[in-house]
Structure 1
Amino acid sequence: MANVSAEQLGTETISSLLIKQALPASIGILVMSLNVLVDSIFVGNWIGSIAIAAINVVLPISFFIGALGMAIGIGGASIISRALGANHKEKALRTFGNQISFTILITVVMVMVGLTFVDTLIPAFGGKGSIFELAKIYYTIVLYGVPFLALNMMGNNVIRSEGKPKFAMIAMIIPSVGNLILDYLLINVLDYGMEGAAWATTISYFMCFLYIVYFFLSDHSELKISSKYLRIKFSIVKEISSLGVVTLSRQAVVSVIYLLMNNILFDLGGEAMVAVYAIIGRMLMFALFPVFGVTQGFLPIAGFNYGAQKYDRVKESIYTAIKYAAILATIVFAGLMIFPGEIAGLFLGHKPGMSELELATNAFVLENTPSAMRWVFAATPIIALQLIGAAYFQAIGKAVPALLLTLCRQGFFFIPLILILPNFLGELGVWISFPIADFLATIVTGYYLRKEIRLNLS
């Protein structure tokens, strides 16, 4: 898990580089995903299954604002990787400074808007019935920490673009471990309930922010925080935005999907059905961590070598990343197909004095989650091609194909499917929309990636 210098991205063997970049990225994503998973298990066991549904309502709103930082981070990281590959240090520094200013400006504005319209946003995202009050408590507190989350996401991608995956991994581990410890203290020991869960999340964001600041002020970073680069330059912000819009659009579509799914499922089965989706949503974040890790590790390798015009190495990195990700995805698939019932049971508490509503909700969730989970993950072995293909175009700065391929699965296929199929198949129509969208998006991505390799990398 050693860090590598920017120059090593263009000289070391691709397999070695991908392992060095992907392993810490995978570990970081694993810990972060475990945080979300265990956080939900704590909430489900110590507060109740309705509380899991409440968090599921809030996450797409807060994560969308946080994803603004990720979008700025990934868009700028693509520029920084290619600038370092071409030995343009000044452009890398100016891009980094603009990322900081742009992230602070846009996320603070979004948080102000989010707090102003809290009573409208929560019901719109499915926070209805008994879900509303718990969701409002969680949402209001967590939103205060979202600017820190955005800066963390931005900084993490920049750290990785420098070839320092170990530090990026630590930055992901800190808030995850901190959140779990604070969850235990604030929910279980001090009995603060939903407020405790929210403050644990917010404080953990700030802890990560302090570490990110330390990294860029230390000698570990080739990029320094300097006031002369903080003044926003339109041309740089435009380039960051054109690439970052890929990530932002993906998260915007994810937020729209949560909105649609929570409302469609609430209409089909009430709060209990939303809780089923909440558990599956946590597994979508957690189970695919090794595939996402390979994708994250692939980005700086492809970007640097493309900037250095080493196209054979770019092509090799594509094939190697797809192979590793496909193997890992297949292993994940096997586990989810074998143990869906046991996974669902982890989220359900059996504390004394549970209400009839909570008992009924738990029974419904335990009965319906396993079959739904098998459908949702049915196409997991083939998703590696789709993820790496879309990431490649983003890494080399081709914003339009990156955007279209990123939106292909969730926007062009999945959303129409969940709007149409449930009308004929009920809740089954919701669940089978996942593998159908995966299959169609993989075919489209494979076609365009093959064409790109043949025309521009051969």
Structure 2
Amino acid sequence: MKEQSRRLGEDSIGSLMARLSIPAFIGMFVMGMYNIVDTIFVSYGVGPNGVAALSIAFPVQMILMAMAAMFGIGGASIISRSLGAGEQKTANTVFHQVIWLVIFSSLLIAILTFIFIDPLITMFGAPAEIHQMTKEFLEIILLGAVFQSFGMGMNNIVRSEGNAKTAMLTMIISAVINMILNPIFIMGLDMGVRGSALATLIAQAIGAAWLLFYFLSGKSTLSLKGFGLRIDVKLGLRIIAIGFPSFIMMASGSVVTIAVNWMLQIYGGTMAIAAFGVANRIASFAIMPINGVTQGMQPIVGFNYGSKQFGRVSHSVKLGMLVATILSLIAFAVAEIFPAELARIFSSDPVLIAESEEALRIMLLAAPTIGFQIVCGGLYQALGKARISFIISLMRQIICLVPLLLILPNFFGLSGVWYAFPIADFLAFSVCVVILSTTWRKVFRETEMVR
């Protein structure tokens, strides 16, 4: 076993959390900056319609990321616990299965989307004036579906063996290349949203190549030796069961985006859709550091749970909860104090700025609860408790948010769309508190180590 994996069960929890979370935090920060810079260039180079087109196309990208996350996180959970238990062969087998699952799923999604692209764009709530623009963006993005999925899935695998630095570098390389190419393609070559999509494709391809080189170099605890087309259905279903909550969490983001776009088309039009695109990019950026903390916590929890060091598991969770909550409070404060200033970064259009400001301020009213929710879901995934993690994943997006999006606008118009978000966050947070307080001791009891 490589030193990077052995340290998961030996180093102090604080130093491990810093060593794993800070690179994930930096990587997420850079990726968040890419999303923001991408939207800025599209806003200034194409206009509000371009931002709206990106928002309409987002569900397809979310589905690709959701599928990759399902296989990557599901496989990473098994790999971390296998390495903790000293089962290197099992870890390698899971690694190989994840690669094939990621490749096949991304190709299938890309092909199906190409075939049904026009009705899908209409179903996603695109007004007629941005239908063609959305199609042009998606057609290029789909050509790089395998690269995007491979990068996301394998980054989770890299983190599972305790090598957060390589995962961070992958995200930084992709993001920096994307940010360099965006202004060249969008403005310099006047390619519009197609330029944004092409920059994304190239950056993701280079990121995927970087990860492949890492695994071939021998620096990984995992090995590609013996890699071949061997599909283990039972193992695949196990990977899916553990990673399915992540799929639901991200795929439900697609359902939410479609529901939001439809409500915005009815109550606000294209400008409201563009405002959601801006506010959603800022909100996603605010959440990314919390995801970084969770990703740093998960391999520590998984490894030490597998090696039956349950005191270290408990310590990791408490520290993760604390840091995530602090980050949530910071995000809340910034969004409520400087919403107009944040909106002006994306556009000089006074109407778009005003609508984005209102959307952002209301959507993040319950932001202080978000960190707890994300860490709670990540905890049960790391422990391999698929059913509990699945319930947590469903709560905010599907059970709470979608019904609120369909009901509130009928009474409060456009504001009802924005208020659905904080109400859903508070309800989901309440459920997470109940789940954690009622199941935590049971998790230890199952391993005959009640603390």
Match of 1:416 among 391, 403, 418: 403
Aligned to 1:357: none
Helix, strand or coil at the partner of 1:221: coil
* Cα drift, residue 325 of structure 1: 0.8
- Partners of 2:84 and 2:339 in 1: CA distance: 45
Aligned to 1:138: 137
Equivalent residues in 2 for 1:424-439 (5 A)? 424-439=411-426
Given the alignment of the two structures, is residue 129 of structure 1 paired with residue 128 of structure 2, yes or no?
yes
* Cα drift, residue 229 of structure 1: 5.2
| Counterparts in 2 of 1:291 and 1:140: CA distance versus 1, 3 Å | same
Aligned to 1:256: 255
- Partners of 1:450 and 1:289 in 2: CA distance: 26
Aligned to 2:268: 269
* Cα drift, residue 86 of structure 1: 0.4
Contact 2:65 2:250 in 1 (8 A): no
Residue 47 of structure 2 aligns with an amino acid whose one-letter code is: G
Aligned to 1:168: 167
Given the alignment of the two structures, is residue 405 of structure 1 paired with residue 392 of structure 2, yes or no?
yes
* Cα drift, residue 227 of structure 1: 4.1
- Partners of 1:248 and 1:456 in 2: CA distance: 23
Contact 1:94 1:229 in 2 (8 A): no
- Partners of 2:151 and 2:115 in 1: CA distance: 24
* Cα drift, residue 427 of structure 1: 1.3
Helix, strand or coil at the partner of 1:223: coil
- Partners of 1:162 and 1:86 in 2: CA distance: 13
Match of 2:364 among 369, 373, 377: 377
Larger displacement relative to structure 2 (87-96 or 241-250):
241-250
Aligned to 1:442: 429
* Cα drift, residue 135 of structure 1: 0.5
Larger displacement relative to structure 2 (375-384 or 273-282):
375-384
Given the alignment of the two structures, is residue 386 of structure 1 paired with residue 385 of structure 2, yes or no?
no
Aligned to 2:32: 33
Equivalent residues in 2 for 1:175-324 (5 A)? 175-228=174-227, 230-324=229-323
Helix, strand or coil at the partner of 1:191: coil
- Partners of 2:79 and 2:259 in 1: CA distance: 36
| Counterparts in 2 of 1:197 and 1:456: CA distance versus 1, 3 Å | closer
- Partners of 2:65 and 2:295 in 1: CA distance: 18
What is the root-mean-square deviation in Å for CA atoms of aligned residues?
A: 1.3
Equivalent residues in 2 for 1:88-127 (5 A)? 88-127=87-126
Residue 377 of structure 1 aligns with an amino acid whose one-letter code is: L
Q: Percent identity?
A: 36
Q: List runs of 5+ in structure 1 lacking aligned partners.
A: 350-361
* Cα drift, residue 163 of structure 1: 0.2
Larger displacement relative to structure 2 (103-112 or 269-278):
103-112
- Partners of 1:34 and 1:176 in 2: CA distance: 8
Q: Could you report, residue by residue, the CA deviation over 1:369-394 in whole angstroms, capped at 9, with x for unpaired residues?
A: 21221111111112222111111111
- Partners of 2:378 and 2:217 in 1: CA distance: 30
Could you state the TM-score of these two structures normalised by the residue count of structure 2? 0.96
TM superposition outliers: structure 1 runs of 4+ over 6 Å: none
- Partners of 2:117 and 2:369 in 1: CA distance: 39
Helix, strand or coil at the partner of 1:287: helix
Q: Could you report, residue by residue, the CA deviation over 1:263-287 in whole angstroms, capped at 9, with x for unpaired residues?
A: 1101111100101100011012212
- Partners of 1:94 and 1:200 in 2: CA distance: 34
* Cα drift, residue 92 of structure 1: 0.3
- Partners of 2:270 and 2:121 in 1: CA distance: 14
* Cα drift, residue 445 of structure 1: 0.7
Contact 1:280 1:373 in 2 (8 A): yes
* Cα drift, residue 255 of structure 1: 0.5
Residue 126 of structure 2 aligns with an amino acid whose one-letter code is: G
Helix, strand or coil at the partner of 2:262: helix
Residue 259 of structure 1 aligns with an amino acid whose one-letter code is: I
- Partners of 2:250 and 2:292 in 1: CA distance: 18
- Partners of 2:188 and 2:255 in 1: CA distance: 36
Helix, strand or coil at the partner of 1:37: helix
Residue 180 of structure 2 aligns with an amino acid whose one-letter code is: I
Contact 2:62 2:251 in 1 (8 A): no
- Partners of 1:415 and 1:230 in 2: CA distance: 40
Q: How many pairs are equivalent?
A: 444
Contact 1:66 1:147 in 2 (8 A): no
Aligned to 1:326: 325
Aligned to 1:77: 76
Aligned to 1:11: 10
Residue 392 of structure 2 aligns with an amino acid whose one-letter code is: L
Q: List runs of 5+ in structure 2 lacking aligned partners.
A: 445-450
| Counterparts in 2 of 1:4 and 1:288: CA distance versus 1, 3 Å | farther
Q: Could you report, residue by residue, the CA deviation over 1:339-359 in whole angstroms, capped at 9, with x for unpaired residues?
A: 11111111115xxxxxxxxxx
- Partners of 2:303 and 2:355 in 1: CA distance: 46
Aligned to 2:448: none
* Cα drift, residue 172 of structure 1: 0.7
Residue 413 of structure 1 aligns with an amino acid whose one-letter code is: C
Helix, strand or coil at the partner of 2:268: helix
Helix, strand or coil at the partner of 2:231: coil
Contact 1:4 1:163 in 2 (8 A): no
Residue 107 of structure 1 aligns with an amino acid whose one-letter code is: S
- Partners of 1:283 and 1:12 in 2: CA distance: 35
Residue 334 of structure 2 aligns with an amino acid whose one-letter code is: G
Residue 57 of structure 1 aligns with an amino acid whose one-letter code is: I
- Partners of 1:127 and 1:433 in 2: CA distance: 21
Contact 1:176 1:204 in 2 (8 A): yes
- Partners of 2:130 and 2:306 in 1: CA distance: 49
* Cα drift, residue 129 of structure 1: 2.1
Given the alignment of the two structures, is residue 453 of structure 1 paired with residue 440 of structure 2, yes or no?
yes
Contact 1:97 1:226 in 2 (8 A): no
* Cα drift, residue 219 of structure 1: 2.4
- Partners of 1:138 and 1:226 in 2: CA distance: 38
Residue 198 of structure 1 aligns with an amino acid whose one-letter code is: A
Contact 2:300 2:316 in 1 (8 A): yes
- Partners of 2:380 and 2:388 in 1: CA distance: 6
Contact 2:294 2:374 in 1 (8 A): yes
- Partners of 2:378 and 2:106 in 1: CA distance: 24
